[in-house]
Amino acid sequence: MRVGIIALLQESNTFIKGETTLAHFEADILLEGEAVRKRLADAHHEIGGFFVGLAEQKLEAVPIFAARALPFGVLTAETLDALVRRLDAALDRAGPLDGLLVAPHGATVAANHADADGYWLTHLRQRVGRKMPIVGTLDLHANVSPKMIAACDAYIGYRTNPHLDQRQRGIEAARLIAMTLRGEIKPTMAAAFLPLAVNIERQLTAEQPCRGVYDYADALLDKEGVVTNSVILSFPYADVAEMGACVISVTNNDFALAEETALGLGQYWWDRRHAFVGQMTSISEACDRAAKLDGPITLLDMGDNVGGGSPGDGTLLAIALANRRDLLPACVCLADADSVQKAIAAGVGTRVTLTVGGKTDDLHGPPFEAEFTVQSLGDGKFSETEPRHGGFLHFNQGPTAIVATDTGLTIMLTTRRMVPFSIRQLTSHGVDLSAFRVLVAKGVHAPVAAYAPVSKHLIRVDTPGVTSADMTRLEYKNRRRPMFPFELDTTW
């Protein structure tokens, strides 16, 4: 039997002024046919898991289409239309299929379809018909819609944040579709949509309060007839009606059981909703706390979270550290293509005055001006060998410069935004981690897998920006109402 593989992934931050275009996918992943296998079969991503799982089940993997862009703004209408056209053409070339494995992100928004994942998955279902089984994976930062549920036979969501289990979830999805094709099970799915926005600061799955909900979900898997379930924490930076928590249950041909277990899991979570309200630490509080701790310490810049779509050039923590000699030496990464070029023009070993960061907007701090010494230059390419958040192995942040002030503030300047999923971003460019008391990573939980092994302490900092952990700073227009914690008296 032949099982097709399709992926379309992008996390869309609707609070960003910039738009995601086809060029963003071309700069990351936009592949068809066998190029998908060549690029992604060995990845720690669920697509890699699809290939492994299908091989284990003696099913032929048919790579069809894979597209991914880094989190950024809403897709233009032209971009979504172009992606779907390319998907259609690749599907036409794939030949007869018995089933499909799909990897939507679940939080993609387009100008012409706010529920972009629901749109393209519905389109796919209409193309192949109701009889062909479709099994999908979901990022736990999905904003799940009824359309998405209706389009597939089953979903399997990530269970870890940082996302270290993506390949495992892909293997699980392949096993599920194999059992379906062999007639061993008939996956039947139900979802419960909670009027709950989960603060990003509370979304670390290894710790409470998330750990308790996932433990409860794991216990439900022992119930006869339950095939799998998913706890979806949602992506709070997409101002759409679908934004919010969701639980999914898949059974073997028993909708009543699927509905019962989804509602039961949802109720367990809802009863603990107050624990999911964020606990905020201001910049000054974080610096004061760090000053009392042994280093190295990683400050997590929640308001300039590149993994949530932010520009990556926020300067507020860099400025704060520059004024705290008790926290130096420190290292910060900033996306600033213009400053990279000026550092390249100056050359290694030279002193140059640069105005770095704060150039995208006025939300993430002003530009920071100082005299720097250019310590090194590089091409910005690096690779990761261990499973890390995102599941990918190879990265390219473009030409890169490492500059330092005389007082001990080191800044890695990158041409492209780079999510801090891998500590190799620093070490492969010659950064000696042992030389620093403080590191800054522009994320919340995604950097933890990379930075926890090299840090004695991690402090999440409530910085402003388009990924602010304080959701009251964001102007929502399209979210559901009422919704906890915006409306504290919300009932479900």
pLDDT tens digits for 189-204? 999 999 999 999 999 9
The answer to whether 267 touches 242, Cβ cutoff 8 Å, is no
d(CA 30, CA 10): 12
Give DSSP secondary structure letters for 56-116: HTT-EEEEEEEEE--SBSPBPHHHHHHHHHHHHHHHHHH---SEEEEEE-S---BSS-SSH
d(CA 136, CA 101): 6
- Number of neighbouring beta carbons within 10 Å of residue 336: 28
Mean per-residue pLDDT, 437-453: 95
Mean per-residue pLDDT, 118-125: 98
Q: What is the pLDDT of residue 400?
A: 98
Q: What is the pLDDT of residue 10?
A: 97
Strand pairing class (457-461; 381-383) = unpaired
pLDDT confidence bin for 106, thresholds 50/70/90: very high
pLDDT confidence bin for 332, thresholds 50/70/90: very high
Tell which wins on pLDDT, 215 or 389.
Answer: 215
Question: Does the pLDDT of residue 405 top 90, yes or no?
Answer: yes
Question: Does the pLDDT of residue 387 top 80, yes or no?
Answer: no
Cα dist. 265→190, 200, 248, 289, 299 in Å? Answer: 12, 20, 9, 37, 34
Q: Which residues pair with 100 in a beta bridge?
A: 4, 134
d(CA 295, CA 329): 10
Record the pTM.
Answer: 0.95
Residue among 155, 2, 13, 43 at smallest CA distance from 392: 43
Does residue 336 sit in helix, strand or coil?
coil
Helices (H), 271-302: 283-291
Tokens describing residue 249 = 């249950």
Q: List CB contacts of 311: < 8 A, sequence separation 6 or more.
A: 16, 304, 335, 360, 361, 364, 417, 466
pLDDT above 70 covers a percentage of the chain that reads: 100
pLDDT confidence bin for 389, thresholds 50/70/90: confident
The answer to whether 278 touches 438, Cβ cutoff 8 Å, is no
Cα dist. 109→19, 64, 168, 213 in Å? Answer: 10, 22, 27, 27
The answer to whether 405 touches 322, Cβ cutoff 8 Å, is yes
Q: Which residues pair with 65 in a beta bridge?
A: 6, 32
How does pLDDT run across 10-62, given as a tens digit for each residue?
999 999 989 999 999 999 999 999 999 999 999 999 999 999 999 999 999 99
Strand pairing class (60-68; 2-9) = parallel
How does pLDDT run across 65-83, given as a tens digit for each residue?
999 999 999 999 999 999 9
**Average pLDDT over the chain, rounded to whole?**
97
The answer to whether 144 touches 193, Cβ cutoff 8 Å, is yes
Does residue 415 sit in helix, strand or coil?
coil
d(CA 281, CA 426): 26
Q: What is the pLDDT of residue 425?
A: 96
Q: What are phi and psi for residue 389, nearest 5 degrees?
A: -50, 130
Domain boundary assignment for the chain: 2-276, 283-469
- Number of neighbouring beta carbons within 10 Å of residue 93: 11
The answer to whether 171 touches 51, Cβ cutoff 8 Å, is no
